[in-house]
Amino acid sequence: MARTRRRSRRTAVAAALAAAGLTAALATGCDAVDRALDCVQTADAIADSVTALQQAVEAADDPARLRDSLDSIEDDLDRIGDKTDDTDVDQAVDDLGRAVENVRTAVENGDATPDISPVTDAAGELTKVCTP
């Protein structure tokens, strides 16, 4: 009888530990899924901002529009940077941030049609690393 109680207690303890482990794994898994979804949504917003930047460069008549597009990309980068701890995403965010800063510098120096290909390339890389 004592042996049965010990076995029951062990079984109960093992079941409790397994349930706790499963709960932790599910919570962590959901958190990772949420972060990936945030990454994808923000990368999509960045893609829209890059499209707006391309249109502003093509129009070449409104430096304020260029700056607004760059600001929008930077805001999105701040949002995604705050939500991830993935090194690939962090690197892509950093690369895109540098590309945006280079375009901003060119615009501030009077270039109405700066080369934005580094921005589009970096945005493509961010989209790639954000895709689950």
What's the CA gap between 43 and 91, in Å, rounded? 14
pLDDT for res 46: 81
Q: Phi first, then psi: give them for residue 22, nearest 5 degrees.
A: -65, -40
pLDDT for res 34: 59
What's the CA gap between 108 and 118, in Å, rounded? 17
**pTM listed for this prediction:** 0.68
pLDDT, tens digit (0-9, with 9 covering 90-100), for 8-45: 444 443 333 333 333 433 334 455 565 566 677 777 77
pLDDT for res 68: 86
pLDDT for res 40: 74
